[in-house]
């Protein structure tokens, strides 16, 4: 992914001012960078990422500015000059208050003369504006002429500054940097991957939308959740259910096929899901992957059936399984979901032409390498996934790997499925004759409802079957309540990683697993659990004294991380003076334990404490 | 079972539901005390243990047989294992043996010098069933890079989870990526990166995620090689024994085609020229055209390359960054990661709490202090108010002290005492683990510096031909509409055009309708 800028790709444009603009690069449009100028989008489509482009002056016979790739020797010209200067340990250039990446030193022909100005003491520093002889109108005029990508403006500004020779080298460099940020007509194109996107969303957009999830936290949560590629795509066999078959014809649950599945609670509008999907290799659309020569078993099939653009049927990896000969992806079926679709009626019994259409009860979801998102509202909020071309509300979705690997269900469907209408209402049935008599729109609705029923039933049943490989959370809900219901669904040894912008909820959660609590629980002297069977304790509903079964998690730990950024310049290396504050971000980690049955005592001298747990304070003697 | 072509997928990548023999498991002895163990199948006694291989810890002895084929995460009880008589030279009283089952071993050891006969005996006799001990337990965890990093045998400085999680995020290690790692060291980063890039074992010719690891130190290389084999990572980690400063990064003369690079080397700037797109030019040896043709870049030619170097000293960073700038790397960024672990506990402060460990027996708040002071004062006044003519000063003081002690005693003893909180506590029956205020506190010792991380990106090559091809494919001059920052004038113009369009539409429709009406009228 991300080797070249593709048409209609989302990209981030980094401007000299340090701000970032996120755009979808539509072909045959003009991209406007505000005061930095405009250029045709086609000049960056098909070009590589990470180059720094400069808007060059319009040629006399052309109506648009062309772009020039700025070589790095030019970008770092000032630094090189500093390094070459004798005794570069003394500050000879500019003092930046930004990162090295943003300095992007600009070489001015006249600066060589001024660069040799002997550093003066700060006493002589004077107010910048007072000594600028160019009036605002004149500057505007220069900008309109806009020659040489803004360098002329800056050079003129410097030249007409009367007190330039009185500046220290630090203040001179600062002045230059300030002016280049304002007038240099340069930009850099970055790909929208999770790291870049999260950075932009955090620092320039709405950080509260992603719960202040910083890069350090994304890394930690992903690693401690042990989120990784969970196996090649594996689809269940199409049950070939006819329209008069009811729920009995649904694909039965096959628990032994389920693996590499992660349980996710995401209140970051989908950023967490995107980060996990990236780690599992299901975020970026297939054609990009194919272009990169990666094989996930999806590429071969796309050529077989170019008309519908389905993602997979008989990929190389999948065909290993005994079931997969007839396994059908039903992206195309989903496409027929639109009620007015005329394609719907011909399905089901008679596979038409070479490509048989999947039946209503075919399950489009992979059994492996999936993300199961639990959401508190009736629909999940995964709006940020739009930046990667996935829209979970679209009924008619073009191929995307997340279609087969992202399962969503509400807490109601998980905990009380009988109350959920779409789960508990048995599917409609109709004989082929009845069906033929209906209007196309009614037929479409009929099929759509049956498909929805089969999908929801599959999602709910597989989720309730448990054995998840891990739990990853970034939620505004109380983590104790999440963990209470999620823990029984985790496989033994599965990691739990919960992010919170503040430490308090995580501390309360960790306290549920404190040593005194656990010792009391296992000592066998807690009246409320005395009559409960060992199996039922896994589903312990919680009370005030024991909000959770304290033996179900091991290695409970809370941590926080912060990256401190430095500027590295010859003779001027130091940490940045200011950085983003706000929520620090904390991660709770633990592993799902399978406690031994019965009373378990630790080795060591803990006897006294155990006594206390039963007979509180009063027994103390002086 | 799921259809996997390999049945020996690394336990780091897919550990299955239960523990298996010959596979790595991590034993969690206490919160931060982890111990890696390769579980042995139950084949007769080993090292003189009747139960087969045994792990001895301060929390008890754990025969491997008790840890095999159990669900991961299981709590394992300690077993009664005779650890004392093993390998001892005679001098053992059979009466000391805690279990009757051990008598045979003990007896045999009495007669023979060492434990070898015991092992012989076990070869013929069935494996002894482990007997659960009364106390002691551990948990058996599946291996992940995180627990492995905490428990691995140190050979060099370890790249810990806070660092590698951030690094892998920044260098875009994703399923299918190829990573160059130079300085395999203890292998913690290797394990983390292989998990990040794994998307199946290579079968056939297709490209899969892979780690290309280089280690200079021969002993470390051999240990690492063994470790990778034991962990089933053979096909997806390619370990080479090489000095990369001189040997470069090619594997068998071929390019690893890496898009991510991690350098944990003392002098990364010496290795950087070898990570270029074109043959680096050294000053004393101007590159000839022939050389240029033969030279192969270890980087993926179609993608930007992401690098991270890991250096503890600022001087190394300065040199590295300088080299990067000269070699055309962009977006150079240096950070250091500060990670803190937090411990939660209950802070218990109060006069009426029991004298437990960790309890601060001072007043909890001003009210409590006040009550206590007033009480002491009252008693003191009572005391001095008594007619005691002949008592001396020092005696007086003594008895005052006694009184205070008595007061304290009475306060604790009497449930209906003056102190309200105690009463409340007693009546509500607060469990001891819920007393006090929940606090978080940093761990006693924090790592304030691990290393400086320098990140940079090297864009792919872009030749004039490439540019010409792209320009031909996406020609300019047919621009319609503006995207991005639209200034006020442009916005106004757009709006005007839109309105005009709507109006003309409306007009057209009205006209159409009028015409229809006209027709109808006619």
Tell whether B17 is covered by a domain.
no
Distance from the Cα of B479 to chain A's closest Cα (Å) equals 4
pLDDT digit string, tens, across residues B84-114: 665 554 444 444 444 444 333 333 333 333 3
Choose among B1, B204, B334: nearest Cβ to A256.
B1
Give me the pLDDT at residue B189, please: 95
Q: Is the pLDDT of residue A566 over 70?
A: yes
Chain-centre distance for alpha carbon A475: 14
Is residue B177 in some structural domain? yes
- Is the pLDDT at A117 greater than 60? The verdict is no
Q: What angle do CA A10, A11, A12 make, to 5 degrees?
A: 140
Query: Is B302 found in the same domain as B199?
Result: yes
**Which of residues A144 and B21 earns the better pLDDT score?**
B21
Nearest CA in chain B to A324: B3
Minimum distance, in Å, between the CA of residue B96 and any CA atom of chain A: 21
pLDDT at B270 over 90: yes
Mean pLDDT for the stretch of residues B506-511: 83
Of A141 and B171, the one with more pLDDT:
B171
Judge if ipTM > 0.95.
Answer: no
CA dist., res. A139 & res. A129, Å (int): 13
Q: Do B302 and A3 touch (CB under 8 A)?
A: yes
- A571-592 pLDDT, tens digit per residue, is 889 999 998 888 889 999 999 9
**Is B28 within a domain?**
yes
- Predicted pLDDT at B292: 56
Q: Which of B83, B117, B141 is the last residue of a domain?
A: B141
H-run or E-run covering B260:
strand B260-263
Tell me: do B37 and B168 sit in the same domain: no
What is the pLDDT, as a whole number, of residue A354? 54
pLDDT at position A320 over 50 = no
Cβ(A190)–Cβ(A12) under 8 Å?
Answer: yes
Give the ranges where B152-299 is alpha helix by DSSP (H).
Answer: 161-170, 188-197, 218-230, 244-247, 268-271, 289-294
Region B162-167: mean pLDDT is 96
Enclosing H/E stretch for B500: helix B488-521
Please indicate, yes or no, if residue B91 is contained in any of the structural domains: yes
To probe the interface with A, which of B342, B359, B466 has the most A CB atoms within 10 Å? B342
Candidate from A605-609, B157-161, B236-240 with smallest mean pLDDT: A605-609
Greatest mean pLDDT among A92-106, A347-361, B424-438, B487-501: B487-501
The pLDDT-based confidence of B321 (bands split at 50, 70, 90) is very high
CB A357 within 8 A of CB A161: no
CA distance B87 to A228: 45
Query: Is B14–A231 a contact, with Cβ atoms under 8 angstroms apart?
Result: yes
A542 close contact with B: CB closer than 8 A: no
Judge whether A241 is closer than 8 Å to chain B, CB to CB: no
pLDDT band at residue A411, thresholds of 50, 70 and 90?
very high
Query: Quick check: A144 contacting B, CB < 8 Å?
Result: no
> Among B306, B294, B296, B307, which residue's Cα sits nearest to residue B256?
B296
- Residues 6 or more apart whose CB falls under 8 angstroms from that of B477 comprise A40, A63, A64
A497 contacts in B (CB within 8 Å)?
Answer: none
Question: Span B206-215, mean pLDDT?
Answer: 92
Please tell me whether residue A152 adopts helix, strand or coil conformation: helix
Q: How confident is the model at residue A545 (pLDDT cuts 50, 70, 90)?
A: confident
Q: What confidence score (pLDDT) does residue B487 get?
A: 66
Residues 6+ apart with CB under 8 A from B318: A568, A570, A573
Q: Provide the pLDDT for residue A416.
A: 94
Residue A212 has what pLDDT?
94
Q: Which residue has the higher pLDDT, B416 or B307?
A: B307
Average confidence score pLDDT of chain A:
78
Smallest CA-to-CA distance from B456 within B314, B302, B260, B288 is with: B260
Domain finish residue from B96, B118, B141: B141
Please tell me the distance from the alpha carbon of residue B51 to that of residue B126, in angstroms, as a whole number. Answer: 10
Distance from the Cα of A3 to chain B's closest Cα (Å) equals: 5
DSSP of B63-111, one letter per residue? EGGGTTT-BTTBEEEEE----SSTT--S---GGG-SSGGGHHHHHHHHH
Are residues B276 and B150 part of one domain?
yes
Confidence category of residue A15, pLDDT binned at 50, 70, 90: very high
Residue B217: inside a domain: yes
pLDDT at A125: 46
Q: What is the pLDDT of residues B352-370, one digit of tens each?
A: 777 666 777 888 889 999 9
Q: Where are the alpha helices (DSSP H) in B272-348?
A: 289-294, 314-326
Shared domain check, B265 and B179 = yes
- The answer to whether residues B159 and B273 belong to one domain is yes
Residue labelled with tokens 């004392």: B84
Q: How many CB atoms lie within 10 A of CB B190?
A: 28
Between residues A165 and A43, the one the model is more confident about: A43
Cα–Cα distance between B218 and B490 in angstroms, integer? 67
* Alpha carbons A459 and A453: distance in angstroms, whole number: 10
Cβ–Cβ < 8 Å for B64, B40: yes
pLDDT over threshold 70, residue A473: yes
Q: Which of A404-413, A529-538, B83-92, B275-284 has the lowest mean pLDDT?
A: B83-92
Confidence of residue B283 (pLDDT cuts 50, 70, 90): low
* A22 contacts A11 by C-beta, under 8 angstroms: yes
Instruction: Report the residue of A563, A600, A609, A622 to disrupt the B interface, i.e. the one with the largest count of B CBs within 10 Å.
Output: A563
The residues with which B27 forms a beta bridge, in sequence order, are: B35, B140
B234 and B320 share one domain: yes
Into how many domains does chain B fold?
Answer: 4
Q: Tell me whether residue B263 is in a domain.
A: yes
Cβ contacts (< 8 Å) between A219 and chain B: which residues?
165-169
Residues B406 and B522 in one domain: no
Domain definitions of chain A by residue range: 73-182, 227-468
Question: What distance in Å separates the CA atoms of residue B522 and residue B284, rounded to the nearest whole number?
Answer: 97
In a domain, residue B463? The reply is: no
Give the confidence band of A605 by pLDDT, cuts at 50, 70, 90. low
Q: Are residues B269 and B171 in the same domain?
A: yes
Last residue of a domain, one of B141, B173, B199: B141
In A, minimum Cα distance to B141 occurs at A493
Q: Nearest C-alpha of chain B: how many angstroms from A456?
A: 23
Smallest CA-to-CA distance from A52 within A72, A32, A36, A33 is with A72
Give the whole-angstrom CA distance, residue A97 versus residue A90: 17
Mean pLDDT throughout B439-445? 90
Each residue's pLDDT tens digit, A186-197: 899 999 999 999
Residue A210 makes CB contacts below 8 A (sequence gap 6+) with A198, A201, A202, A268, A269, A271, A384
Structure-token match 């007769």, residue found: B44
pLDDT band for position B3 (cuts 50, 70, 90): very low
Give dist(CA A202, CA A211) in Å, integer.
Answer: 9
pLDDT of A198: 95
Q: d(Cα A380, Cα A410) in Å, to the nearest integer?
A: 8
Highest mean pLDDT among A489-503, A562-576, B414-428: A489-503
Q: Given a cut of 70, is residue A312 above it in pLDDT?
A: no
What percentage of chain B exceeds 70 in pLDDT?
Answer: 76
Same domain, B240 and B119: no
Tens digit of each residue's pLDDT (9 = 90 or more) over B167-194: 999 999 999 999 999 988 899 999 999 9
| Statement: residue B493 has pLDDT above 70 | yes
CB A8 within 8 A of CB A27: yes
User: Which of A8-12, A85-89, B407-411 comes out lowest in average pLDDT?
Assistant: B407-411
> Is residue B56 within 8 angstroms of chain A, CB to CB?
no
- Residue whose structure tokens are 């000269």: B326
pLDDT at A618: 37
pLDDT at B129: 76
A571 touches B at CB < 8 Å: no
Q: Do B222 and B73 share a structural domain?
A: no
Computed over its alpha carbons, how large is the radius of gyration of chain B? 38
Residues of A in contact with B342 (CB under 8 A): 503, 507, 558-560, 586
CA distance linking residue B398 with residue B260, whole number of Å: 78
Whether chain A has a CB inside 8 Å of the CB on B480: the answer is yes
B441 Cβ under 8 Å from any chain A Cβ: no
Q: Tokens 């948990």 identify what position? A: B139
The Cβ-side half-sphere exposure at A398, using a 13 Å CA radius, reads 9
Asked whether residue B315 falls in the same domain as residue B410, the answer is no
Q: Which residues of A touch B72 (CB under 8 A)?
A: 491-494, 594
Q: Are residues B152 and B129 in the same domain?
A: no
Rounded to an integer, the average pLDDT of B110-129 is: 46
B339 — pLDDT class (breaks 50, 70, 90): very high
Please give the residue range of the domain that contains residue B87. 24-141
Joined together, the tokens standing for residue B193 give 């990166």
């Amino acid at each position: 992914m991300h080797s070249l800028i593709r048409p209609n790709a989302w990209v981030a444009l980094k401007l000299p001012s340090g701000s970032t603009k996120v755009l979808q690069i539509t072909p045959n449009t003009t991209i406007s960078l505000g005061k930095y100028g405009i250029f045709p989008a086609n000049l960056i489509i098909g070009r590589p990422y990470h180059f720094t482009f400069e808007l060059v002056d319009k040629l006399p016979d052309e109506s648009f500015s062309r772009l020039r790739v700025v070589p790095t020797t030019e970008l770092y010209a000032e630094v090189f000059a500093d390094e070459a200067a004798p005794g570069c340990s003394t500050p000879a250039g500019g003092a930046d208050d930004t990162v090295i990446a943003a300095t992007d030193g600009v070489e001015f022909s006249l600066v060589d003369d001024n660069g040799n100005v002997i550093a003066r003491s700060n006493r002589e520093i004077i107010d910048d504006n007072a000594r600028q002889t160019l009036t605002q109108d004149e500057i505007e005029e220069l900008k309109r002429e806009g020659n040489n990508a803004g360098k002329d403006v800056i050079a003129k500004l410097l030249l007409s500054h009367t007190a330039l020779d009185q500046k220290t080298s630090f203040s001179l460099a600062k002045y230059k940097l300030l002016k280049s940020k304002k007038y240099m007509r340069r930009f850099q194109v970055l790909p929208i991957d999770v790291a870049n996107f999260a950075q932009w969303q955090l620092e320039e957009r709405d950080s509260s939308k992603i719960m202040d999830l910083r890069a350090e936290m994304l890394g930690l949560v992903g690693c401690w959740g042990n989120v990784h590629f969970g196996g090649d795509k594996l689809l269940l066999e199409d049950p070939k259910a006819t329209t008069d078959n009811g729920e009995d014809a649904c694909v039965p649950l096959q628990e032994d096929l389920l693996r590499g599945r992660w349980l996710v609670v995401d209140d970051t509008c989908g950023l967490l899901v995107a980060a996990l999907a990236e780690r599992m290799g299901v975020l970026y659309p297939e054609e990009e992957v194919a272009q990169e020569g990666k094989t996930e078993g999806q590429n071969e099939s796309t050529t077989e059936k170019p008309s519908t653009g389905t993602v997979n049927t008989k990929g190389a990896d999948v065909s290993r399984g005994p079931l997969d000969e007839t396994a059908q992806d039903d992206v195309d079926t989903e496409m027929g979901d639109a009620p007015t679709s005329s394609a719907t009626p011909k399905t089901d019994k008679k596979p038409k032409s070479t490509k048989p259409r999947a039946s209503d009860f075919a399950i489009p979801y992979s059994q492996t390498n999936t993300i199961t998102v639990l959401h508190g509202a009736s629909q999940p909020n995964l709006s940020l996934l739009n930046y990667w071309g996935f829209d979970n509300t679209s009924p008619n979705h073009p191929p995307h790997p997340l279609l087969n690997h992202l399962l969503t269900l509400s807490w109601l469907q998980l905990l009380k499925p009988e109350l959920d209408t779409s789960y508990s209402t048995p599917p409609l049935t109709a004989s082929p004759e009845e069906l033929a008599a209906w209007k196309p729109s009614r037929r479409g609705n009929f099929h759509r409802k049956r498909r929805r029923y089969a999908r929801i039933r599959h999602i709910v049943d597989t989720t309730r079957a448990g054995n998840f490989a891990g739990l990853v959370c970034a939620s505004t809900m109380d983590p104790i309540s999440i963990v209470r219901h999620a823990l029984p669904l985790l496989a033994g040894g599965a990691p739990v990683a919960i992010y919170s912008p503040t430490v308090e909820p995580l501390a309360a959660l960790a306290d549920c697993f404190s040593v005194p609590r656990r010792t009391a629980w296992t000592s066998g002297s807690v009246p409320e659990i005395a009559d409960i069977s060992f199996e039922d304790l896994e589903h312990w509903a919680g009370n005030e004294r024991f909000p959770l079964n304290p033996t179900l998690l091991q290695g409970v730990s809370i941590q926080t991380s912060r990256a401190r950024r430095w500027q590295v310049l010859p003779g001027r290396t130091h940490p940045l003076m200011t950085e983003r504050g706000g929520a620090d971000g904390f991660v709770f980690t633990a592993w799902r334990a399978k406690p031994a049955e019965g009373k378990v005592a630790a080795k060591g001298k803990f006897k006294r404490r155990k006594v206390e747990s039963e007979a509180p304070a009063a027994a103390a003697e002086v | 079972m799921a259809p996997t072509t390999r049945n020996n997928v690394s336990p780091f990548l897919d550990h299955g539901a239960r523990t298996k023999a010959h596979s790595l498991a991590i034993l969690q002895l206490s919160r931060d005390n982890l111990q890696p163990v390769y579980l042995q199948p139950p084949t007769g006694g080993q090292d003189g243990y009747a139960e087969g291989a045994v792990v001895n810890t301060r929390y008890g002895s754990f025969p491997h047989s008790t840890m095999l084929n159990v669900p991961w995460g299981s709590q394992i009880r300690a077993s009664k294992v005779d650890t004392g008589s093993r390998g001892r030279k005679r001098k053992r009283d059979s009466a000391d043996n805690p279990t009757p089952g051990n008598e045979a071993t003990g007896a045999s050891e009495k007669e023979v010098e060492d434990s070898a006969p015991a092992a012989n005996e076990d070869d013929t006799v069935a494996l002894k069933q482990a007997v659960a001990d009364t106390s002691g337990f551990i948990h058996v965890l599946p291996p992940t890079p995180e627990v492995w990093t905490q428990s691995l045998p140190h050979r060099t400085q370890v790249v810990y989870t806070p660092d590698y999680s951030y690094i892998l995020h920044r260098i875009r290690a994703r399923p299918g990526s190829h990573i160059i790692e130079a300085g395999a060291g203890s292998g913690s980063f290797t394990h983390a990166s292989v998990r990040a890039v794994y998307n199946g074992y290579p079968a056939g010719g297709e490209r899969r995620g892979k780690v290309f690891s280089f280690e200079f130190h021969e002993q470390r290389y051999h240990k690492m090689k063994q470790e990778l084999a034991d962990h089933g990572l053979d096909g997806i980690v390619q370990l080479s024994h090489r000095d990369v400063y001189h040997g470069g990064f090619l594997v068998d003369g071929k390019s690893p085609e890496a898009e991510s690079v991690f350098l944990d080397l003392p002098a990364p700037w010496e290795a950087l020229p070898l990570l270029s797109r074109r043959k680096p030019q050294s000053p004393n040896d101007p590159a000839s055209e022939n050389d240029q043709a033969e030279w192969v870049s270890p980087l993926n030619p179609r993608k930007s390359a992401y690098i991270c170097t890991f250096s503890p000293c600022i001087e190394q960073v300065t040199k590295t960054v300088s080299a990067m700038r000269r070699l055309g790397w962009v977006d150079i960024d240096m950070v250091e990661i500060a990670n803190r672990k937090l411990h939660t506990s209950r802070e218990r402060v109060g006069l009426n709490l029991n004298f437990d460990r960790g309890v601060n027996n001072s007043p909890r708040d001003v009210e409590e202090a006040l009550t206590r002071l007033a009480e002491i004062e009252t008693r003191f006044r009572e005391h001095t108010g008594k007619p005691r003519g002949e008592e001396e000063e020092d005696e007086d003081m003594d008895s005052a002290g006694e009184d205070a002690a008595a007061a304290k005693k009475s306060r604790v003893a009497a449930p209906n005492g003056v102190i309200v909180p105690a009463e409340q506590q007693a009546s509500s029956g607060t469990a001891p683990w819920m007393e006090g205020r929940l606090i978080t506190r940093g761990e006693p010792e924090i790592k304030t510096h691990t290393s400086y991380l320098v990140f940079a990106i090297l864009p792919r090559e872009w030749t004039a031909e490439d540019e010409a091809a792209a320009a031909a494919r996406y020609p300019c001059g047919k621009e319609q509409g503006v995207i991005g920052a639209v200034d006020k004038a442009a916005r106004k113009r757009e709006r005007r055009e839109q309105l005009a369009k709507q109006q003309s539409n409306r007009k057209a429709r009205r006209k159409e309708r009028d015409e229809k009406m006209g027709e109808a009228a006619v």
